[in-house]
Structure 1
Amino acid sequence: MKLDRRTRSWGRHAGLMFAALAMLLAGCTSYVTTQVTAFSNWDGGSDATRTYAFQRTTSQANSLEDSTYEQVVANELATHAFRQVDMDRAHYLVAIAYGTRSDMAVSSAPAYYYDPWPGPYYWGRPYGWGGGPWGPWGPYGGGYVTQSYPVFTHTLGIRITDRASGKEVYNVTARSSGDEASLVYAMPFLARSAMADFPLGNGVVRTVKLPVDGQGGAPNEVAAGAAAPAAPASGAKAVQ
Structure 2
Amino acid sequence: MKAILICAALAAASLTGCAGLSADVHTANPSAALQGARTYTISRMPSQDASTDHPQFETMLRDELAKNGFIDTAGKSAHYLLSIAYDTRPATVGVSVKDCAPGACERAPEPPFALFGGRAYQHSLTLRLFEQSSGQEVYSVNAASSDRDADPLHAMPALVKSALAKFPFDAPPDWRVKLRTDQASGMPNVVSVKPVQP
Q: How high is the TM-score relative to the length of structure 1? A: 0.59
How far apart, CA to CA, are the structure 1 residues paired with 2:54 and 2:34?
A: 28
| Equivalent pair of 2:34/2:138 in contact (CA under 8 Å) | no
The residue aligned with 1:36 is: 25
**Residues 26-78 of structure 1: per-residue CA shift (max 9 Å, x gap):** xxx962110000112632335xx001010011222243311211111111111
Question: What is the deviation of 1:193?
Answer: 0.3
Alignment counterpart, residue 155 of structure 1, candidates 121, 124, 127: 124
How far apart, CA to CA, are the structure 2 residues paired with 1:147 and 1:84?
A: 43
Question: What is the deviation of 1:214?
Answer: 2.0
> Computing the radius of gyration over CA atoms, which structure comes out larger, 1 or 2?
1
The residue aligned with 1:209 is: 178
Aligned 1:75-224 pairs, distance under 5 A: 75-103=63-91, 105=93, 148=115, 149-201=118-170, 204-214=173-183, 217-219=186-188
Alignment counterpart, residue 237 of structure 1, candidates 184, 189, 192: 192
**Residues 188-218 of structure 1: per-residue CA shift (max 9 Å, x gap):** 1000000111111255101100101226822
| Equivalent pair of 1:154/1:186 in contact (CA under 8 Å) | yes
DSSP 3-state at the match of 1:238: strand
How far apart, CA to CA, are the structure 1 residues paired with 2:32 and 2:94?
A: 42
The residue aligned with 2:54 is: 66
Alignment counterpart, residue 40 of structure 2, candidates 39, 46, 52: 52
- Gap change, CA 1:77 and 1:101, over 3 Å in 2: same
**Residues 11-32 of structure 1: per-residue CA shift (max 9 Å, x gap):** xxxxxxxxxxxxxxxxxx9621
How far apart, CA to CA, are the structure 2 residues paired with 1:169 and 1:103?
A: 30
**Identity fraction in percent:** 32
Question: What is the deviation of 1:147?
Answer: 6.9
How far apart, CA to CA, are the structure 2 residues paired with 1:64 and 1:177?
A: 23
Question: What is the deviation of 1:103?
Answer: 3.2
**Residues 105-150 of structure 1: per-residue CA shift (max 9 Å, x gap):** 489xxxxxxxxxxxxxxxxxxxxxxxxxxxxxxxxxxxxxx97141
CA RMSD of superposed structures (Å): 2.6
- Gap change, CA 1:203 and 1:159, over 3 Å in 2: farther
Aligned 1:6-21 pairs, distance under 5 A: none
How far apart, CA to CA, are the structure 2 residues paired with 1:161 and 1:236?
A: 29
Question: What is the deviation of 1:88?
Answer: 3.4
The residue aligned with 1:17 is: none
- Gap change, CA 1:30 and 1:216, over 3 Å in 2: farther
DSSP 3-state at the match of 1:93: strand
How far apart, CA to CA, are the structure 2 residues paired with 1:104 and 1:205?
A: 21
